């Protein structure tokens, strides 16, 4: 994360702007603290990952999923690919292409810069297919939060393996219900899986709507067996297994949409995934 981008951050408790104090390399934050002027709280930055999160928030189903991922960071992507295939969602590469299509990246053409926030970014596996489809001439910044430090460590490894992402990927240990960003900071906000595990889905939906720009899109994709042509017996068993920590039904959470949201699209993306897309309410 570039030190100049700190102005986009907000204290997850007070909402106040944060100030960075620490070391940087080529204007990228490395280690230090993000200080909240209202409370005096210092949020740690370690190995380029900001920890804007309280351990006392680590309760419920979403934290249980994160704890599980922390134990198997190297196997997250292979297991996602296998479970998607067995459940009836097809090849993971094809699924990621559908995710990218749902973001409507061509409409960003003509912008010099664009920002995408992925909530539950995990290992940042969507980074490359998204970047590959950004319009020519648009500089994309990818921001991501997750509760799994193990998954984020794999995502951080992408920075070390390919310097193209050095200035384009910012990672945070943060809670979806307490997004540490200023209002309207992002052109796209993506949740790809895990929404049914959020312990406070209505608050999360409100936060997603808050941080997207007026002309941006919130895109939520998660499990939903199709009424027709959906998964068979094996597929439903797999979905039940990977949804063992879910606290809500595997279906589009339209009931949690904030009042006044615009251009709502609710559709079946694959035989096992829904697509819920909308724009924030206008003031």
Per-residue pLDDT of the chain (283 residues; tens, 9 = 90+): 888 889 999 999 999 999 999 998 878 888 999 999 999 999 999 888 899 999 888 888 999 999 999 999 999 999 999 999 999 999 999 999 999 999 999 999 999 999 999 999 999 999 989 989 999 999 999 999 999 999 999 988 877 777 666 668 899 999 999 999 999 999 999 999 999 999 999 999 999 999 999 999 999 999 999 988 889 999 999 999 998 899 999 999 999 999 999 999 999 999 999 999 999 999 7
Residues 68 and 26 in one domain: no
Structure tokens at 275: 């697509």
Residues 39 and 128 in one domain: no
* Distant-in-sequence, close-in-space partners of 2: CB < 8 Å, separation ≥ 6: 27, 28, 29, 167
Residues 45 and 85 in one domain: no
Q: Are residues 245 and 107 in the same domain?
A: yes
Question: CA-CA distance, 82 to 89, in Å (whole number)?
Answer: 10
pTM: 0.95
Q: What is the domain-level CATH number for residue 145? A: 3.40.50.150
Cα–Cα–Cα angle for 270, 165, 182, rounded to 5 degrees: 75
Query: Are 91 and 217 found together in one domain?
Result: yes
Burial status of residue 106 (CB atoms within 10 A of its CB: 0-12, 13-18, 19 or more): exposed
The total domain count for the chain is 2
Q: Domain range for residue 190?
A: 54-279
Claim to verify: residue 84 and residue 207 sit in the same structural domain: yes
Residues 120 and 130 in one domain: yes
Q: Are residues 138 and 246 in the same domain?
A: yes
């Amino acid at each position: 994360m570039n030190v100049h981008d700190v102005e986009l951050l907000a204290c997850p408790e007070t909402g106040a702007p944060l100030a960075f104090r620490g070391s940087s390399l080529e204007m990228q934050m490395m280690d230090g603290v993000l200080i909240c002027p209202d409370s005096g709280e210092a949020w740690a930055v370690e190995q380029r990952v900001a920890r804007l999160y309280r351990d006392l928030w680590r309760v419920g189903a979403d934290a249980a999923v994160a704890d599980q991922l922390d134990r198997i960071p190297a196997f997250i992507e292979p297991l996602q690919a296998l479970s998607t295939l067995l459940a009836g969602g097809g090849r993971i590469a094809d699924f990621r292409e559908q995710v990218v299509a749902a973001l409507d990246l061509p409409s960003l053409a003509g912008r010099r810069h664009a920002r995408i926030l992925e909530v539950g970014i995990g290992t940042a596996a969507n980074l490359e297919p998204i970047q590959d489809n950004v319009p020519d001439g648009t500089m994309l910044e990818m921001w991501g939060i997750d509760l799994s430090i193990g998954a984020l460590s794999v995502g951080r490894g992408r920075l070390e393996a390919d310097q193209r992402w050095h200035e384009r990927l910012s990672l945070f240990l943060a809670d979806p219900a307490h997004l540490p960003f200023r209002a309207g900071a992002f052109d796209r906000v993506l949740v790809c899986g895990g929404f049914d595990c959020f312990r406070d889905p209505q608050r999360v939906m409100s936060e997603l709507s808050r941080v997207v720009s007026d002309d941006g899109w919130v895109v939520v994709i998660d499990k939903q067996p199709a009424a027709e042509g959906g998964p068979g017996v094996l597929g439903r068993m797999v979905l039940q297994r990977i949804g063992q920590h879910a606290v809500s039904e595997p279906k589009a959470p339209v009931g949690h949409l904030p009042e006044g949201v615009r251009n709502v699209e609710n559709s079946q993306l694959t035989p096992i995934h829904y697509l819920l897309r909308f724009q924030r309410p206008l003031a």
